[in-house]
Structure 1
Amino acid sequence: MNLTMLVAFANLAGLVLAFAGAILTVIYGLPSLDVLNEQSYLEMQATEGARRYQGRSKLGLCLIAAGFVLQLPSAASALSSSQATGPMRMADVSALVSICKDILLTIAGAVTATVAWKGLGNWLRELRGRTRFDAAKSLMRAAYALREAVANCRAPLIVAGEFPAEYNEGQPLGRETRRDDKMRAYAHVFAARWSPVSAALTEFETRSLEAEAIWGGDVRPLTRELGDCIVALNAATESFMDDLRNQGENFKADRDFGRKVRSEVFAPRGATDNELTNRITKALEALEKFARPSLR
């Protein structure tokens, strides 16, 4: 096989590879709408569908590049042969124009494929940002809802409407009956107040797990701190109820503990001298600082 035939075969192979690469790039340069709608990008990582499109798009680019390289010897041969034989003949000009056309088409296909590939990258970055934004917004919304539920639960004033309808503190009853009646009344009040807290806490824990799936362990200590505040409030409420059962004897034996429990169970909204309130505020501020970059 002489050099002319080798160059011709290289030119033909280049055309075939460039055409195949162009077809792959057209089809797989960007995922179709069906692929995008099937959650091809989930939890900040490309799924198998997106990776398949990426791999085939890269293969298309490689084929286009290989086709371009294989057509270079044909162009060089046409130029060298025309220089060796003198002025170009019409056939030489026609062949050179055809080769240059193929090379230009190959370059155009490579540019198109590169633009498509960059478009896919931009789409992935946009989706990553939108996913982080939605997760951060949901997390902070759940945290604020939990804060409001806790503030309502800790309201110092218990109005008459919160007690059971049959409870009347002024009615004549025996001491044991009075104590049991009061216990049931306060249990009714705290059960009603804790219901919104439990619902808000469940939502917050769900959003916390979503955030941990995206940001990893960095967000876990921040969400755990707010959850620990709710655990402390629940423990204080149980201690308060135990003191009621024992007719106040628990807090009489340890007055400092009694004051601490009451300050955790009851606190005015926006109090600045309450330890548990300040702890909740700091936990929310830490969450806000973490989520703020994703909310911009």
Structure 2
Amino acid sequence: MTGLEVFTLIKDVALTGAAISGAVVAIKGLGTWRRQLKGQSEYELSRRILVSLFKYRDAINGVRHPAMFSYEIPHPSEDEAKSMSPDDIRYYGISKAYQNRWEKVQEQRTSLYADQLEAEAIWGNELNTLFKSIYSLEHELFNRVRHHLVLMDPSADEGQKDAILNIDKKKRDIMYDELGEEPDEFKQELLEAIALVENYLKPNLRHEVV
């Protein structure tokens, strides 16, 4: 083999090696990029869920707030009010106020539901399981508020009211937040259930690309 042939062989080997090395670097770079993309996606999803969850918590707390301010309580139109008793007017305003409070809860729950579907596709059903306790507490509060409004409705059937009173005797009264320095039983359970979701998601907010 001549010197030129040896040189050509060495050059070909070197070029092949460089190509292989470049391919390896490119593959490693692609892997890093994928990890970065996955980490960023999970970060954004976790952040959205936590923000919506905290807004949802505040909306639940708003439903339970014992004070109902005048700006929350709408009045019927003049024409409607003419045929209504003072109790009817009071019921109209308070029921509308609670309806508005619940709309805020549902707004945040709808936002949470959309992100939960994405989370289920990525992480499986574990997060949904954690949310069950939270939604169970919401359902308990919803029923309590519904019963409260039926009991104060002047046009509600007395038999229905008696049935509700019998049902509520067997259940805890969670209608109003006690607003004490320490959370009441319902709020404590809600905070603990929310903390489980926080603990599940927060590692994604500390994600570091390797």
Give the TM-score category using the shorter length: 0.7 to 0.9
CA RMSD of aligned residues (A): 2.6
Max radius of gyration: which structure?
Answer: 1
Does structure 2 retain, via aligned residues, the 8 Å contact 1:152–1:193?
yes
TM-score (norm 1): 0.60
Separation (CA, whole Å) in 2 of partners of 1:112 and 1:181: 78
Separation (CA, whole Å) in 2 of partners of 1:157 and 1:244: 17
SS in 2 for 1:219: helix
Unaligned runs of 5+ in 2: 78-83
Q: 1:165 aligns with which of 68, 75, 78?
A: 75
Number of residue-to-residue matches in the alignment: 196
Query: Is 1:137 matched up with 2:47?
Result: yes
Q: 1:278 aligns with which of 188, 191, 202?
A: 188
TM superposition shift of 1:118: 0.6
**Structure 2 equivalent of residue 101 of structure 1:** 11
**Structure 2 equivalent of residue 117 of structure 1:** 27
Separation (CA, whole Å) in 1 of partners of 2:33 and 2:168: 62
**Structure 2 equivalent of residue 202 of structure 1:** 110
**Structure 2 equivalent of residue 288 of structure 1:** 198
Q: Which has the higher contact order (CA 8 A, sep 6+)?
A: 2
Query: Is 1:193 matched up with 2:101?
Result: yes
Separation (CA, whole Å) in 2 of partners of 1:278 and 1:215: 27
Query: Is 1:151 matched up with 2:38?
Result: no
The C-alpha deviation readout for 1:198-230, integer Å capped at 9, x for no partner, is 111111111211211211112111123222222
Q: Structure 1 pair 251/231, CA: closer, same or farther in 2 (3 Å)?
A: closer
SS in 2 for 1:181: helix
Letter in 1 for 2:22: T
Q: Structure 1 pair 287/249, CA: closer, same or farther in 2 (3 Å)?
A: same
Q: Structure 1 pair 287/270, CA: closer, same or farther in 2 (3 Å)?
A: farther
Moved more, 117-126 or 269-278: 269-278
Q: 1:177 aligns with which of 67, 85, 90?
A: 85
Moved more, 158-167 or 277-286: 158-167
Letter in 2 for 1:225: S
Unaligned runs of 5+ in 1: 1-77, 79-91, 168-175
Moved more, 147-156 or 242-251: 242-251
TM-score (norm 2): 0.82
**Structure 1 equivalent of residue 137 of structure 2:** 229
Letter in 2 for 1:206: A
Identity %, equivalent residues? 23
After TM superposition, where is structure 1 displaced by more than 6 Å over at least 4 residues in a row? none
TM superposition shift of 1:185: 2.4
